[in-house]
Structure 1
Amino acid sequence: MTTPRDLLIVAMDRPSSRSVERGDLSLALAGAELIDLLGADAVRLDGDHIVPNPRRPIADHLLDEAASSLAQQEPYESVDDWLWRRGRGLSAAYLAALEAEGQLARQRHRRWLLFRTSQMVLVDSPARRRARDRWAADEPTVAALAVGIGIHDKRTEDSPSVADDAVATVLTAVTDALAELADERQRRARRLDEAAKTNYRRGF
């Protein structure tokens, strides 16, 4: 399994007081993909730009797709640009992959709040158990991504930290992108509220 798949399974498995936004999850999955590509030596970072290493096949087809989509020549893509481009609709792609692999099943009554309209639930599987083990071990990468999408408490000084500088750079970029997305949602909500008030005053 991969970090994006583990993160998605954890998000579906964890009780949460609110649903996880699709956009938030997609950005976090894109960050998780990049972290795995770094771990597989498929890419390296030059500052905040992603430099691909010589191509070699990656067993996971979504990660392989991610690697093949990278800019192969200068100017290389920045981590921030990668998150927004690769993250577009990525949560749906991973859900479809898990369903195709038999990791999910349709159920009339949902047991988790990942998406408000979803009727998919996790089945018991080795992949689910591996993700649970990684979560129970408080693996810092998964935990940090989980904090970003709101399914984990804030990290403390006693929490395991990320030692790799490149991974830390990606996690920081994910945090910044999530904050930017939250700000945009708030701006949209304010505009809608102001428009509603204006229409009310005009008698519409």
Structure 2
Amino acid sequence: MTTAHDLFTLALEPRPERSVGQGDLSLSLAGAELVDLLQAGAVDLDGDLIVPGPRPDLDDLLLRAAASALVRTVPYESVEDWLWRRGRDLAAAYQAAFEEAGLLTRPRRGLLGFGADHRMELVDTPARRRAQSRRQEGEPVLGALAAAIGIRDGGGPQDDAGPDGEAVATVLAAVHDAVTELEAVRQRRSIENTAFANVWRVP
């Protein structure tokens, strides 16, 4: 299983705090895929630009799709641009993959399992236990990606890129910034919508 798979698993674990939003999760999944591609030697970073390397033999279908989606011509894509482009609807793609693999049970009404009506259930599998173990052990890269989307119940430090170096640290920082930007957009829209609604309430 990949870091992205483990992250998606953690996002669907039941917890008392608010559910993880699709947009936040999609951005963090795109970051997790990029970390996996870095660790597989499929890409390198030149500053914040993603420089494609050899095409590795990847077992995971979604990670292969991520490798195929890389911009392979100069000027290369920035990490930020990758997160927004690759992250579009990525959470839904992982949900579909989990369902197809039998890792996720679908609710009776077939609603997407995010938000207040979250009723998706993870199947108890070795892959799920592995993701839980990584979280409990405080694995720093997975912990940082999870923390970016509000999952902070891990068991160790989450602000260190660990042995993976500066490139992974760059990706983790970009994920945090993108999620923060998305939240700012949400808040701005909420304020604008409230202000618009109040106009119609003025006597």
**TM-score, normalization by structure 1:** 0.90
| CA shift in 2, pair 1:3/1:16, >3 Å | farther
Structure 1 residues 8-48: Cα deviation after superposition (integer angstroms, max 9, x where no partner)? 11111251411211100000000000000000000000000
- Residue 56 of structure 2 aligns to a residue whose secondary structure is coil
Q: Secondary structure at the match of 2:57?
A: coil
Aligned to 1:94: 94
User: Where do residues 1-204 of structure 1 align in structure 2 (5 Å cutoff)?
Assistant: 1-107=1-107, 114-152=114-152, 161-163=160-162, 164-201=165-202
Alpha carbons 1:139, 1:160 under 8 Å: kept: no
The range that moved more, 145-154 or 170-179, is 145-154
Q: Distance in 2 between matches of 1:66 and 1:91?
A: 13
One-letter identity of the residue aligned with 2:73: Q
- Residues 111-168 of structure 1: CA deviation (Å, up to 9, x unaligned): xx84334432001111111111111111001111111111215998x66721311000
Q: Using a 3 Å threshold, how does the CA distance of structure 1 residues 127 and 137 change in structure 2: closer, same or farther?
A: same
The higher relative CO (CA closer than 8 Å, separation ≥ 6) is in 1
Work out whether residues 144 and 171 of structure 1, in 8 Å CA contact, stay in contact via their aligned partners in 2: yes
- Measure, in 2, the Cα distance between the counterparts of 1:78 and 1:139: 26
Distance 1:160 1:56, change over 3 A: same
Contact kept? 2:138, 2:154, Cα under 8 Å: no
Helix, strand or coil for the counterpart of 2:74?
coil
- Distance change in 2, residues 1:160/1:180 (3 Å): closer
2-structure distance, mates of 1:27, 1:160: 18
- Structure 1 letter corresponding to 2:171: V
- Looking at structure 1, the residues matched to 73 and 85 of structure 2 have their Cα atoms a distance apart, in angstroms, of 17
Distance 1:89 1:159 in 2: 26
Look up the SS of the partner of 1:76 in the other structure. coil
Offset at 1:56?
A: 2.6
Amino acid at match of 2:189: R
Q: Report if aligned partners of 1:108, 1:119 keep a CA contact under 8 Å in 2.
A: no
* Contact kept in structure 2, 1:27 and 1:174, CA below 8 Å: yes
For the 8 Å contact 2:144–2:158, the answer to whether it is kept is no
Instruction: Extract unaligned runs of 5+ from structure 2.
Output: none
Q: Under a length normalisation based on structure 2, what TM-score does the superposition of the two structures give?
A: 0.91
Over 3 Å counting, the alpha-carbon distance change for 1:94 and 1:154 in structure 2 is: closer
Distance 1:77 1:160, change over 3 A: closer
Q: Say whether the 8 Å CA contact 1:31–1:170 is kept in structure 2.
A: yes
Q: 1:76 Cα deviation (Å)? A: 0.3
Task: Write the deviation string for residues 80-135 of structure 1: whole angstroms up to 9, x where unpaired.
Answer: 000000000000000110110000113459xxx84334432001111111111111
Give me the whole-angstrom Cα distance separating, in 1, the residues matched to 2:56 and 2:21. 33
Q: Cα RMSD between the aligned structures?
A: 2.0
Counterpart amino acid of 1:136? Q
